[in-house]
Chain A
Amino acid sequence: MTAPMLQIEALTKRFQTGGGFLKRPRAMLAVRDVSLAIAKGEVVGVVGESGCGKSTLARLVLRLLEPSSGRVILDGTDLTSLGPSALRAARKRMAMVFQDPYSSLDPRFSVADVLTEPFTVQRRPLPPGQIAEMLTAVGLPPEMASSHPHQLSGGQRQRVGIARALALRPEFVVLDEPTASLDVSIQAQIIDLLAGLRDQMGLTYLFISHDLGLVRYFCDRIVVMYLGAVVEILPTADAQPRHPYTRALIDSGFTPDPTRRRAIAPLSGEIPSPFDLPPGCAFAGRCPHATDRCRTERPVLDATMHPTACFHPL
Chain B
Amino acid sequence: MSALLDLQNVSVAIGSAHLLDGVSLRLERGQTLGLVGESGSGKSLTAMAAMGLLPLIGGRVSAGTVRFDGQDLASLTDAQRRALRGRRIGFVTQNPMTALDPVQRIGAQIDVVSRLHLGLTKHAARARTLDLLTQLRIPEAAAVAEAWPHQLSGGMKQRIVIAMALAGDPELIVADEPTTALDVTVQAQIIQILAGLVREKGVALLLITHDMGVVAQICDRVAVLYAGRLAEEGPVAPIFAAPQHPYTAALINCIPQEGMARGTLRGIPGAVPSARQYPSGCRFHPRCVKATAECATHIPPLTQRGDGQAACLHLPEIAP
Residues in chain A within 8 A of chain B (CB atoms): 49-50, 153-156, 183-192, 195, 210-214, 216-218, 238, 248-249, 251-259, 261-262, 264, 266-268, 270-271
Q: How many residue-residue contacts, CB under 8 A, span A and B?
A: 138
> Are the CB atoms of A261 and B187 closer together than 8 Å?
no
> What A residues does B184 contact at CB under 8 A?
49, 210-212, 249, 252-253
- CB of B53 within 8 Å of the partner chain: no
Contact (A184, B210) CB under 8 Å given A249-B185, A270-B156: yes
Residue-by-residue, is B163-201 near A (CB-CB < 8 Å gives 1, otherwise 0)?
000000000000000000001111111011000000000
> What B residues does A268 contact at CB under 8 A?
137, 189
How far, in angstroms, from A188 to B271 measured CA to CA in the complex? Answer: 12
Listed from nearest, the 7 A-B pairs whose CB atoms lie closest are: A254-B213, A188-B267, A189-B267, A217-B256, A185-B268, A266-B188, A49-B183
- CB of B236 within 8 Å of the partner chain: yes
> What B residues does A270 contact at CB under 8 A?
153, 155-156, 183, 186
How far, in angstroms, from A36 to B185 measured CA to CA in the complex? Answer: 25
> What B residues does A238 contact at CB under 8 A?
258-259
> Are the CB atoms of A191 and B265 closer together than 8 Å?
yes
Which of B39, B188, B210 has a CB less than 8 Å from the CB of A264? B188
How far, in angstroms, from A264 to B272 measured CA to CA in the complex? Answer: 33
> Are the CB atoms of A188 and B266 closer together than 8 Å?
yes
> Are the CB atoms of A256 and B188 closer together than 8 Å?
no
- CB of B260 within 8 Å of the partner chain: yes
How far, in angstroms, from A9 to B119 measured CA to CA in the complex? Answer: 63
> What A residues does B267 contact at CB under 8 A?
185-192
How far, in angstroms, from A266 to B268 measured CA to CA in the complex? Answer: 31
Which of B155, B191, B240 has a CB less than 8 Å from the CB of A256? B240
> Are the CB atoms of B257 and A255 closer together than 8 Å?
yes
Contact (A217, B262) CB under 8 Å given A186-B267, A257-B240: yes
> Are the CB atoms of A248 and B185 closer together than 8 Å?
yes
Nearest to B214 among chain A residues (CB) is A254
Nearest to B236 among chain A residues (CB) is A258
Q: Can you give 14 contacting A-B residue pairs, CB < 8 Å?
A: A186-B267, A191-B265, A192-B263, A211-B184, A213-B255, A213-B258, A214-B256, A217-B262, A251-B188, A254-B217, A256-B212, A256-B240, A258-B236, A264-B188
> What A residues does B155 contact at CB under 8 A?
270
A254 to chain B, nearest CB (A): 3
Nearest to B253 among chain A residues (CB) is A188
Nearest to A182 among chain B residues (CB) is B39
> What B residues does A190 contact at CB under 8 A?
267
Which of A184, A191, A211, A213 has a CB less than 8 Å from the CB of B257? A213
- CB of B250 within 8 Å of the partner chain: yes
B243 to chain A, nearest CB (A): 11
Which of A50, A188, A189, A251 has a CB less than 8 Å from the CB of B183? A50
Within 8 A of A (CB), among B77-127: none
How far, in angstroms, from A268 to B74 measured CA to CA in the complex? Answer: 44
Contact (A213, B256) CB under 8 Å given A185-B251, A255-B217, A267-B185: yes
> What A residues does B240 contact at CB under 8 A?
256-259
Contact (A256, B252) CB under 8 Å given A185-B267, A266-B192: yes
> What B residues does A213 contact at CB under 8 A?
255-258
> What B residues does A50 contact at CB under 8 A?
183
A136 to chain B, nearest CB (A): 16
How far, in angstroms, from A270 to B253 measured CA to CA in the complex? Answer: 31
> What A residues does B250 contact at CB under 8 A?
185
A222 to chain B, nearest CB (A): 13
Within 8 A of A (CB), among B295-317: none
Contact (A189, B185) CB under 8 Å given A183-B210, A217-B260, A256-B213: no
- CB of B237 within 8 Å of the partner chain: yes
- CB of B275 within 8 Å of the partner chain: no
> What B residues does A271 contact at CB under 8 A?
183
> Are the CB atoms of A254 and B268 closer together than 8 Å?
no
> Are the CB atoms of B263 and A258 closer together than 8 Å?
no
Contact (A252, B260) CB under 8 Å given A213-B255, A258-B216, A259-B237: no
Extra A-B contacts (6), CB below 8 Å, given A254-B214, A256-B216, A268-B137: A49-B186, A192-B267, A213-B258, A218-B256, A256-B252, A259-B241
> Are the CB atoms of A252 and B263 closer together than 8 Å?
no
Interface-central residue, B186, B217, B254, B267, by most chain A CB under 10 Å: B267
Which of B185, B191, B262, B269 has a CB less than 8 Å from the CB of A254? B191
Contact (A185, B153) CB under 8 Å given A211-B184, A254-B191, A256-B257: no
